[in-house]
Amino acid sequence: MREYLKFYIDGQWVDPIGSGTVDLVNPATEEVSGKIALGSEADVDKAVKAARAAFASYSQTSRDERLALLKAIKSEYEKRLPELAEAITEEMGAPASLASSFHTFLGTGHLDTAIAVLEKFAFEEKHGDTLIMKEPIGVCGLITPWNWPINQVTVKVFPALAAGCTVVLKPPQLAAYSAQILAEILDAAGVPKGVFNMVQGKGSVIGTALSTHPDVDMISFTGSESVGVQISKDAADTVKRVCLELGGKSPYILLDDDGLAERVAAATSGMMVNSGQTCSAGSRLIVPQARMAEAKAAAAGAAEAVTVGNPAGNAAMGPVVSKDQFDTVQAYINKGIEEGAELVAGGPGLPEGLDKGYFVRPTVFATTNDKVVAREEIFGPVLVMIGYDDLDDAVAIANDTDFGLAGYVDGNDQDKCREVARKIRAGAIYVNGGFDFNAPFGGYKRSGNGREWGEHGFAEYLETKAIIG
């Protein structure tokens, strides 16, 4: 049993000002795995005051001083990799193989990227008689989700620290363990007091207190569209910068090429990674209508081959994060059946052989783009297949969505793939499996605003000053 009943504020582990705790449940066993303290507005105010006081000196540190700090963090981070992976498996059900590889690898990658960007970033540029300066924006409230817990924390914390900002982190209530370990890492690395602060608790309390606090200069939030909208409204009264990474219903276009069945299988298996709990997941697989039968057979085979079970064992897919999330995904699967979508694989209920845990059957529908399961973000292992007549039709289907976070294009002709990618209205398009820590990540339309990852993510934490004459 884990018990994390203190907050990290002003360089110390302190007792909460407010009272109350909450039990956390292991989603694979449905048993209580630990307890965290619930913070209050007073705890947030204490953390913000510490961050504001620390900003005066930390914002004036040199590039070399911040590089030394980030490298010290990396040394401590690498020591705790096994513990981070175990915490991620326990808190949100990621298979051990995934938690110890891609989950923790993303944290390392964001740290290395922050170091690389800081080493070369031009904080001052001359334009004629004007000096253009980039300065840290100030105190940043960082609000993160549970689905990729270390990724979402580190993609905010590390560039903010590299830029010279001070932060107050509100980690996800459902994935509190890995955030606690990360705070211990930062403490061990010698982060100056007040530069990094963490308050656990409910989003409705801690997130609202950060969004409305007059001494918070910026909010960076990753999560649902509805919460992002509320944060924007709350932050408006104090004219904060707000960076939002919200939901997605990302298209995955497959060209009409040899190897279609293999690409369908790979896209289907990819959708089931992390139990489908990925905002940028290619959840709408857009395939040639003339080859739909072939595509359905390939998707069914791939979905049925995904092993579901104990995330501490050898299963490829663990549970979804909570009972509420399980119920939501089940409701969408039943909605798809009610709407008349063709059930290609999976369906409602627990996978065969499992009688407890929040496990979902890897599910595939074949339907049209007007159905609820094709339009709303399900956030579970549910893939929707949609047929297209030609590539113009495929692009039209891809763009017929309220979201615009990501997209995927696969095919034998790289130039044709890039031509299709240019036409998709989304912030990040992955062509034939591309991946880059320096590529900006963020959404069009209702998928948010602002960018994370690489130099663009670093720039979110900077203000622009012109010294003229």
**Which candidate in 90, 279, 377, 417 is catalytic?**
279
Task: Name the burial class of residue 301, with classes exposed (0-12), middle (13-18) and buried (19+) by CB atoms within 10 angstroms of its CB.
Answer: middle
Nearest 5°: the CA angle 239, 241, 112 is 160
Nearest 5°: the CA angle 244, 248, 249 is 165
Rounded CA-CA distance 283/267 in Å is 9
Whether 245 is a known active-site residue: answer yes
User: Which value, to the nearest 10 degrees, does the dihedral of the CA atoms of residues 133, 448, 453, 213 take?
Assistant: 60
Side-chain-facing half-sphere of 109: CA atoms under 13 Å: 16
Could you tell me if residue 69 is left (phi over 0), alpha (psi between -120 and 50 degrees) or otherwise beta? alpha
DSSP state of 223: S
Whether 279 is a known active-site residue: answer yes
Q: In sequence order, which residues have a C-beta less than 8 Å from that of residue 101 and are 6 or more positions away? A: none
**Which candidate in 90, 91, 245, 377 is catalytic?**
245
Q: Which amino acid is at 422?
A: R
What the block records as the tokens of 42 is 């007073």
Rounded CA-CA distance 70/314 in Å is 34
What the block records as the tokens of 177 is 């363990």
Q: Which amino acid is at 221?
A: F
Give the residue carrying structure tokens 């890897």. 362
Could you tell me if residue 51 is left (phi over 0), alpha (psi between -120 and 50 degrees) or otherwise beta? alpha
Rounded CA-CA distance 128/117 in Å is 26
What the block records as the tokens of 120 is 């070369």
Rounded CA-CA distance 254/256 in Å is 7
Rounded CA-CA distance 249/263 in Å is 19
Distances (CA, A) of 268 to 84, 253, 273, 283, 362: 28, 12, 9, 9, 9
SS3 (DSSP) at 468: strand
User: Which value, to the nearest 10 degrees, does the dihedral of the CA atoms of residues 332, 338, 343, 345 take?
Assistant: 40
Closest CA to 185 of 337, 72, 354: 72
Active site residues: 245, 279
